[in-house]
Amino acid sequence: MPPRMLSKSKYLYGIQCPRYLWIACNRPELIPQPDPVTQHRFDQGHLVGQMAKELFPGGIDIPTQNFTTNLDLTQTLLNERKPLFEAGFAANRLYSRVDALVPAGDGRWDIVEVKSKTRVEEINLHDVSFQRLCCRSAGLEIDRCYLAIIDKEYVKQGDIDPQQFFVLEDITEAVEDISRGIEDRVAAMLEIITRTETPEICIGPQCDNPYPCPLKEVDCWQGLPEHNVFTLVRGGRKSKDLYDGGMIEICQIPPYFDLNDRQQIQVECVTAGRIHIDKAAIRAFLDRINYPLYYLDFETINPAVPLYDYSRPFQQVPFQFSLHVQASPGAEAEHFWYLADGPGDPRPELASQLRHRIGTEGSVMVYYQPFEKTILEELAVALPEYREWVRMVTGRMADLLVPFRNFDYYHPGQMGSASLKSILPALTGKGYEDMAISNGGDASLKFLDITFAQTTPETRQQVRRDLLEYCGLDTLGMVRIVEKLQQLAS
């Protein structure tokens, strides 16, 4: 059996974690398939990669289905001195393909790596450094290295112009710096993948850096108890130090360990099995809100490649809102909603209906104000006629996250989180677990599916019902949370 090769993707796994690398090479069946949100991110990356080819007219696509054919065609086409897409190189047990290999002077070549990102990240430098090593090991002379990233300030107006959509960042010097020691790293990884046993690696920051590891929940973290030290709010290095010191559960944290006020509240609640309530702080928050209350939540899409004119890459574009209006304390909340229908820009109709439903007096209740505020402010940029109305609405916002972020209320079931998905079941017993759509990422994908993909009318109607139920619970949940806080503070 020939020795295993180290590909670019496997090298990046090894940069993150040796255990991840070994399993990817020796037990790949243990790695779960990507969830729909992750797969959508991959698909967006492929779309951006295809668009980037237009930066290099006359380029040649090299088929990738067959490993040997890709390598052989690459060697043949190098003589044509044209841009090559997906050129493959293998040498010294290393293998990599290059997004775009572009002719440079004196018989040299430039490497262009395409990323559906708006900035250069360290992992991208490792990526390109490995590509350069593979190319040079195969006898190719490399001149400059570039990262083709997306211009975050690009605004779509008509057809997208790749020359304006992308920014070419020269990362040659940064690649040179990060390449120091690459031969030793490669040698160590080649040794790891030939071992017969899985490397034992302590869990830690690498489990989520630079990306969440797909093995986290199915392997390395599987045996952790519910209230483990990694659920400590903003635990960071403290959680790692506790774990390395043999303290696995929050209730094992010793009294002398340095904790901030919120962490101390969490530890005391978990250890004693009780709920923390600061009635005075909750009353102070409730005293700042004014009826009628408008409970508002948006659902959005944020495609890498903008779908609508006057939108930017990765901009959160609202396609749905839910609004519960409560006229006075104890009154039944009235529900209003909007859900876009069809592929056109949803913002004009959404803004029109929302302005019609939100009155001129009373607090606009949101959960995590920066998000909803940004959505409205960007609506005003795309639709300037709403500028004054947006300023009026955002000036009346009250953030329901505040009392939970401040730990004025804390329930052990929150597991250190102050998200709506954690607060609602902890405070009211009502959650999202039995819903067809239970998070914002899935809501975005479902909307894209029924709007831009082929679906049956029955599927489309069912998804719309599921979207209305999900977004509606976000705002109805806020109504119930405020009512519960009012009871607690009385």
Domain spans, the chain: 6-193, 281-489
Provide the Cα torsion 259, 262, 264, 270; round to 10°. Answer: -130
Q: Are 416 and 404 within 8 A, CB to CB? A: no
The reply to whether omega before 36 is within 30° of 0 (cis) is no
CA distance 149 to 50: 13
Strand pairing category for 142-150 and 166-170: antiparallel
Answer yes or no: is pLDDT of 343 > 60: yes
- pLDDT confidence of 383, banded at 50, 70, 90? very high
Tokens 């930066």 sit on residue: 55
- Tell me what the mean pLDDT of segment 9-28 comes to: 96
Beta-strand runs (E) in 256-316: 276-277, 293-301
Residue 143: predicted pLDDT:
97
Q: Are 313 and 154 within 8 A, CB to CB? A: yes
CATH number of 281-489: 3.30.420.10
- pLDDT confidence of 217, banded at 50, 70, 90? confident
Provide the Cα torsion 270, 275, 276, 277; round to 10°. Answer: 170
Phi, psi (rounded to 5 degrees) for 409: -135, 135
* Average pLDDT of the chain to the nearest whole number: 96
Residue 2: predicted pLDDT:
63
Residue 450, phi-psi category: left (phi > 0), alpha (psi -120 to 50), beta (remainder): alpha
Answer yes or no: is pLDDT of 1 > 60: no
Beta-strand runs (E) in 20-140: 60-61, 84-91, 94-103, 109-114
CA distance 56 to 102: 8
Instruction: Give pLDDT tens digits for 295-306.
Output: 999 999 999 999
CATH of range 6-193; options 1.20.120, 3.90.320, 2.60.120, 2.60.40 = 3.90.320
In the three-class reduction of DSSP (H, G, I as helix; E, B as strand; rest coil), residue 412 is classed as helix
Instruction: Give pLDDT tens digits for 108-120.
Output: 999 999 999 999 9
Instruction: Give pLDDT tens digits for 397-442.
Output: 999 999 999 999 999 999 999 999 999 999 998 899 889 999 999 9
Q: Record the tokens describing residue 457, joined without a space.
A: 């009318």
Q: Record the tokens describing residue 163, joined without a space.
A: 């020359």
CA distance 420 to 403: 12
Residue 3: predicted pLDDT:
74
Answer yes or no: is pLDDT of 128 > 70: yes
Residue 376: name the closest of 357, 360, 392 by CA.
392
Query: Which has the minimum average pLDDT: 164-178, 208-222, 276-290?
Result: 208-222
Instruction: Give pLDDT tens digits for 219-231.
Output: 999 889 999 999 9
Q: Quote the longest CA-to-CA distance of the chain.
A: 81
CA distance 77 to 339: 51
Instruction: Give pLDDT tens digits for 142-175.
Output: 999 999 999 999 999 999 999 999 999 999 999 9
Residue 359: predicted pLDDT:
95
CA distance 449 to 430: 28
Residue 399: name the closest of 378, 380, 374 by CA.
374
Q: Do domains 6-193 and 281-489 have the same CATH topology?
A: no
Residue 162: predicted pLDDT:
96
- pTM, whole model, 2 decimals? 0.93
What separation, in Å, do the N-terminal and C-terminal C-alpha atoms of the chain show? 74
Instruction: Give pLDDT tens digits for 258-267.
Output: 999 999 999 9
Q: Record the tokens describing residue 375, joined without a space.
A: 């959505």
